[in-house]
Chains A and B, each alone.
Chain A
Amino acid sequence: MTVVAAARGVTKRFAPRGPAALDDVTLEIAAGRVTGLVGPDGAGKTTLIRILAGLLRPQSGQVEVLGGPAGAMAGDVGYMPQRFGLYEDLSVRQNLTLYAELRGLPRAEHDAVFDRLLAFTDLKRFQGRLAGQLSGGMKQKLGLACALVRTPRLLLLDEPSVGVDPISRRELWSMVGALVDEGIGVLWSTAYLDEAERCAEVCLLNAGRRLFAGRPADLTQRAAGRVFRLEAFAGGKRDVLARTLNRPEVSDGTLQGRSVRLVMAAGEGAPSPKLFAAGEGARVIPANPRFEDGFVDILGGAGKGTSALAATYAEAPRGEGPAIEARALTKRFGEFTAAQDISLNVARGEIFGLLGPNGAGKSTTFKMLCGLLTPTSGQGFVAGRGFAASGASARSRLGYMAQKFSLYGDLSVAQNLAFFAGVYGLRGAKARARTEALVEIFDLSRYLPDNAGALPLGYKQRLALACAVMHEPPVLFLDEPTSGVDPITRREFWTHINGLVERGVSVLVTTHFMDEAEYCDRIALIYRAREIATGTPDALRAQAAALTGAADPTMEDAFIALIEAADMAREQAAA
């Protein structure tokens, strides 16, 4: 095994007294395999990659790249930053030409290399198109192609799969697989834990520290023999999940369709269903451990299953109609139809998921339902109120949380809370009491005077949720709420959401995380502006199993199978 790049004991601080972005991190990248750099946002992945690329200098530690110091062998290193420097106003081919010239590829070789790369990335059909008009997945492929204009010996990929739908993600992986077979050493950084399992070696970072290095299976193995599935229980799944998480014997628990997936604490064997008062018919079945189980285990297991937020939350009113309703929503931007005839109902106390590839119309649908976009035709209702007739009244009944941190970073935590209390009409003693309760629930008191923008990521997430539920809305809109956060914070977030749903709150969520999809009661799959499938996660999996014949497909398999079936149906209709 040849090591093409190594960082040993690397420490990097951006402010002399500030927290370490990287704290004594060691990493080796071997030729001919994919090394995964895995961890949530803010873990230090990008900093480490920039150090390896020679763009940053660490305060201490050694860095060796292709036998020299970082940055010395730039010609043999391919580097694809998070938002690749594509020139959006240049065409695909012009971008390639530009990078070929920047990297000194002889003119005579241009055509041959471009043909090979365009075939490799399947972009040949689009070479005349402007880079700005490509989809997220295609942009990443073009970025990869640009990083490969001169075949590198080391390829550094910074979160290539962010914002890329599962289909494009699989394509990227198979492309990188082909490169590895040529003997290139690849570093692939990602916040998606399921991607870790595809890497030969993994370096797991959290908050600047290396938690694990080695084969991913070794981390997964930590949870071996402790993972079970609780099935066929009586009572609500969220209720049972909360009860299991509250048991000291249980280290981690998540929903998986109609079953609960459990990781028992170290030293515990298979639990009896009686432990959770899950009813007569409940069964406990051993399940396969996953990389994430090992990660959660290192971090000390998930928290408790009862949400303090839900305990104080006003019960959502019982109305006759659905909490969220879409009636034949259609949105056109000029010639382009972004969403076509979408109808759905979300009942009181239901979590409804919107899934779909990028640019398929999922965000457009979401925005029409929370009043950010006015539909071209059709109507959207929240708690029985239409946006067309009574926008402000509908808006005062919904809470909204976006994927990107969208609070005021220059304002303090206290000022952010005060602003949202005021905007949602809370005043005087009531506003104070509610704010104090939220500060208590989310443990924000020590951060009150700090700028919200400077909070650790997990606390930003908490503050965003606190502001969204300030006015105890009966309807919540969540736009990729936990992308990039660590698994503990994600579990805590869903514990709150599950608790609120038990109080009758309805939730509409868009997500790329298949884990999050599992928390939904029902899912609508949006593809090419249309709703191609709607149902419970189990039903969608069953539908996919019927299509492909595979037994027990994952949510991601189901997603891909249903989209491929939709493509096939469309081609047949066209033929």
Chain B
Amino acid sequence: MGRLWAIIVKELWSTLRDPRARITLIVPPILQLMIFGLATTLEVKNFNVGVLNTSAGRASYEFVEKLAGSPNVGRIVRLTSPDDLRRAIENQKVIAAVIIDARFDRAVAAGRPATLGVVLDGRRSNAAQIVGGYINAIAAGLAPGRAPPPVGTIVRNAFNPNLDYLWFTMPSLIMLICAVSGLAVTAQCVARERELGTYEQLLVSPLRTHEILIGKMIPPLLSGLFNGLLYLVLSTTVFGVPFTGSLILFFLTLVLYLLALIGVGMLVSTLARTQQQAFLGSFLVAVPSTMLSGYAGPVDNMPPWLRTLSLADPCRHYLVIVQGLFLKAMPAEAIWPSAWPLMIIAVVTLSAAAWLFRARKE
């Protein structure tokens, strides 16, 4: 027990006192919070729409006014010809252009279904789709009662009534930050000893392999728990995201997730010869893991082989848990299907790392 304590203390100090390790500990969480929390948004605001209006009726006038009045639209650009429209899209002056011709007003006046032409900038496909949606919504609200849709839909967004994107990103950030900094910190641990020449000094001591590895798991575990707590507090206070689940479950699953990540990071570290290799290795793992997690795009949209591959990705399982805990008050029995894969990943990777550590001693 004394030996284990000694190596835990030593690992904590080495992580805190090594300038490089300190940077991997402090910079990514802050950077990520700034970028994801404040800079990138999934909403589209302040976009410009072009209007090529060759009609002069009341309905078209009303539509353009409504469009201009929408809080998301920045400016209406009046276009005079199809050539003008092409240039405006090409030069990215507008993200979308609406074409209204004389038939539109006639159709509305006659109470027949009317058609608007919309040109979207496909280079910005995501934003353009959202803008297309806005324009549709405005058009649909143009003539209530006059042309009631045959079947109506009333949408209520469960768990996130206003579809606030922060409610989605902030919990996911806990998954992301732990993956990025947890992998980076763990990957350095064995590689650093190898590079500094302290590795052999460690190996000739009476420390057992498992003691060395447990000692090396503590700093990333603690830093991961700290990051998790920090993001939990900031999400609920600063960013106003509700946390509806159980705190105990939050920390229990976070520990499981971190153990799985540490196992993966430890594998990278035992394979790497230098800190440089370890750093590149952790990058090589972190990027695909977060991409496959379902944060960037739903797992169900992936081709079947990637879906299968993503089962080995701790980020994928944890994303389900952390979003469930924040927004859905997910109970333990609902979490279990995502928690046991984390355990299996942790056990497999940690044993593999211990085996590799023994095998690569020489």
Contacts and interface: CB of A to CB of B under 8 A. Distances in A.
Contacts of A373: 362
A395 to B, nearest CB: 5
Most buried by B among A402, A404, A408, A412: A408
Nearest to A451: B17
Contacts of B196: 406, 408-409
A425 B206 contact: yes
Contacts, number: 84
A411 interface: yes
A418 B362 contact: no
B125 interface: no
B141 interface: no
B10 A372 contact: no
Interface residues of B, number: 25
Contacts of B18: 410
Contact of A477 (B7, B19, B197, B204): B204
B204 A370 contact: yes
Nearest to B15: A410
Interface string A546-574: 00000000000000000000000000000
Contact of B14 (A396, A411, A424, A427): A411
Contact of B200 (A393, A402, A412): A402
Q: Is the interface of A mostly helix, strand, loop or mixed?
A: loop
Interface in A427-466: 427, 451
Interface string A405-428: 111111110010011111111110
Given A402-B197, A425-B3, A371 B204 contact: yes
Contacts of B204: 370-372, 395, 398, 400, 477
Contact of A406 (B5, B6, B7, B201): B201
Contacts of A406: 196-198, 200-201
B17 A410 contact: yes
A422 B6 CA distance: 5
Contacts of B7: 419, 422-423
B2 interface: yes
A393 B205 CA distance: 10
A448 to B, nearest CB: 14
Contacts of A423: 3, 6-7, 205-207
A372 B361 contact: yes
Interface of B: 2-3, 5-7, 9-10, 13-14, 17-19, 196-198, 200-201, 203-208, 361-362
The 9 nearest A-B residue pairs measured at CB: A422-B6, A396-B206, A400-B204, A419-B10, A410-B17, A406-B201, A406-B197, A410-B18, A392-B206
Given A409-B196, A418-B9, A423-B205, 14 more contacts: A373-B362, A392-B206, A395-B204, A402-B197, A407-B198, A408-B10, A410-B14, A410-B17, A418-B6, A419-B6, A419-B9, A421-B6, A423-B207, A424-B205
27 contacts: A371-B204, A372-B203, A372-B204, A373-B362, A374-B362, A392-B206, A392-B207, A395-B205, A398-B204, A400-B201, A400-B204, A400-B205, A406-B197, A406-B198, A406-B200, A407-B198, A408-B196, A410-B18, A411-B14, A418-B9, A419-B6, A419-B7, A422-B6, A422-B9, A423-B6, A425-B206, A426-B2
Interface of A: 370-374, 392-393, 395-396, 398, 400, 402, 404-412, 415, 418-427, 451, 477
